[in-house]
Amino acid sequence: MMQTHFDAIVVGAGPAGVSAALTLRARNKSVLMCYSDQGALKTAHRVDNYPGMPRMPGEEMLRIFHAQCEEAGVVMYPHAVRQMLPMGDTVSVMAGEELFTASCAILCVGVVRQSRIPGETEYVGRGVSYCATCDGMFYRGKKIAVISAYHEGVEECNFLASLAGETCYFSEKKHDRAGLADNVLVMDGRVTEILGDGKHVTSVRAGDEEFPVDGVFILRPATPPDQMIPGLALEDGAIWTDEGFATNLPGVFAAGDCTGMPYQAPVAAGQGNAAALSAVRFLDQK
């Protein structure tokens, strides 16, 4: 059975997340690393300014990073974090289909560049959700729209279809939809707007048609941090932190590109180390 409570949860597996996780392990803290992809570094043809790894392809750097994490005892969990809730002494994290808790968390999610659907932000928590496991139960017997950007959304959609009265599946980006349950209605076109009455979602628009729904689930490989964690403070679109990389939420830290420029692997690694040391102090004072 998989361990469900950790001293720290690190969200992201790039230079900042790896550095944070290794530092936490060096201080004898249990660490879970959640990640849905490997960020911008994976696509880098060559990195020339990372100490000790000259002229290294980004994908090879990540392979070495992750092997080092596994050797250090970091629990690697390659699934997107859908929701994170600071709950006083602990932080609750929903990733994939699992619920984890930790005494603190470090966000190293990089830059999540996503254009939001008109109406999406307005109706978050009022019919728009990013977590099937968290909110699916509220839509038993109701009609929902699932907007998915990747194949992994198929499994979550099938779970939702087992609860909802009617489930419509819209593709936000082209992907393999094989495996969708027979009772899922696969829709043509992309959702261009989420509509509501000011209080709750009432429908979605795709092309020239409007489809009445009770709820909308948006499934993407990464969730913008302010949607992942209610109340998280941003500044100029980046996560706000103090000098010790603590956010405005107790027990939640952030490092790397998600905290703003410059977007450089060596900078992210250094920030991940500093954020982990702050997290260690936080843990030791509890």
Query: Which tokens belong to 242?
Result: 């103090």
pTM above 0.95, yes or no: no
Q: What single-letter DSSP state applies at residue 139? A: G
One DSSP character per residue, 236-285 reads TTEE---TTSB-SSTTEEE-GGGG-S---HHHHHHHHHHHHHHHHHHHHT
At 255-268, the pLDDT tens digits run 999 999 888 899 99
Pairing mode, if any, of strands 201-206 and 191-196? Answer: antiparallel
- Contacts of 41 by beta carbon, 8 Å cutoff, 6+ apart: 14, 15, 47, 58, 61, 62, 265
Average pLDDT over residues 200-220: 94
Cα 61 vs. chain centroid, distance in angstroms? Answer: 22
* Residue 201: CA count within 13 A, CB half-sphere: 30
Band of pLDDT at residue 38, cut at 50, 70 and 90: low
Q: CA-CA distances (angstroms) from residue 265 to 201, 234, 241?
A: 41, 22, 19
**So what's the pLDDT on residue 118?**
94
Question: How far is Cα 170 from Cα 97, in angstroms, rounded to an integer?
Answer: 21
CB 50 within 8 A of CB 26: no
**So what's the pLDDT on residue 222?**
67
Band of pLDDT at residue 73, cut at 50, 70 and 90: very high
Pairing mode, if any, of strands 75-77 and 31-34? Answer: parallel
CB 35 within 8 A of CB 11: yes
H-helix segments, the chain: 15-26, 58-72, 132-135, 153-161, 225-228, 265-284
CB 76 within 8 A of CB 96: no
Question: How far is Cα 249 from Cα 240, in angstroms, rounded to an integer?
Answer: 10
**So what's the pLDDT on residue 173?**
83
**So what's the pLDDT on residue 113?**
62
DSSP E strand boundaries for 22-134: 31-34, 75-77, 81-87, 90-95, 98-107, 128-129
**Range with the poorest average pLDDT among 38-52, 141-155, 180-194, 234-248:** 38-52
At 87-133, the pLDDT tens digits run 878 999 998 878 999 999 999 998 776 678 999 989 988 999 887 87
Cα 233 vs. chain centroid, distance in angstroms? Answer: 16
Label residue 141 exposed, middle or buried (CB < 10 Å: 0-12, 13-18, 19+). Answer: exposed
